[in-house]
Structure 1
Amino acid sequence: MTSIFIHVDPEKCQGHARCKALAPELFELDEFGNAREALSGCVPPELVDKAYVAQANCPEEAIVIRSASRL
């Protein structure tokens, strides 16, 4: 299985925190409620589905998912 990484674009994130609600293991919130990636953006295999659910539910489309081979 290919490793995937997440990135939250700070210019797009508006602090809805849906990602944190859906995948708390993968996202952290700053003091303003804006999201950033946890775990250095590395998504463990057992959390890949959660990463895609969080991405699909981001109203600002601020979450980018990349495979390790496309970094």
Structure 2
Amino acid sequence: MSLKITDECINCDVCEPECPNGAISQGPDIYVIDPNMCTECVGHYDTPQCMEVCPVDCIITGVEESREVLEERYRIISGQKVA
């Protein structure tokens, strides 16, 4: 797991369309991030776009993952050959 949305989420709807992997969706109470789809925007952007647009800074690092792990997940999600 990389990023996580905390209970401070106000359901403002700005993070979901920013995720290039489709990892963010509406949960029962707040938005949630699918840890199997989140690459912290590795492969797309230099910084996590959801964190950039969140007006209440409720998106945090859950369990830190190395850049290599995030890059491998990006390659799997995007259909690129995994080394």
Larger relative contact order (CA 8 Å, sep ≥ 6): 1
Q: How does 1:1-71 map to 2 (within 5 A)?
A: 5-9=2-6, 11-23=7-19, 25-32=22-29, 34-40=30-36, 42-43=38-39, 45-47=42-44, 49=45, 52-65=48-61, 67-68=64-65
Count residues in correspondence: 63
Query: Structure 2 CA distance, aligned partners of 1:51 and 1:26?
Result: 15
Instruction: Tell me, yes or no, if the aligned pair for 2:22 and 2:37 is still in contact at 8 Å.
Output: no
What's the CA shift string for 1:17-39, capped at 9, x where partnerless? 2110111612011255x210114
Which of 1 and 2 has greater Rg?
2
Any gaps of 5 or more consecutive residues in structure 2? 67-83
Query: Structure 2 CA distance, aligned partners of 1:31 and 1:50?
Result: 30
Name whichever structure is richer in strand by fraction: 1
* Structure 1 residue ranges, 4+ long, deviating more than 6 angstroms after superposition: none
1:51–1:40 distance in 2 versus 1, CA, 3 Å: farther
Identical positions, percent:
11
Any gaps of 5 or more consecutive residues in structure 1? none
Q: Secondary structure at the match of 1:25?
A: coil
Name whichever structure is richer in helix by fraction: 1
Q: CA RMSD in A?
A: 2.9
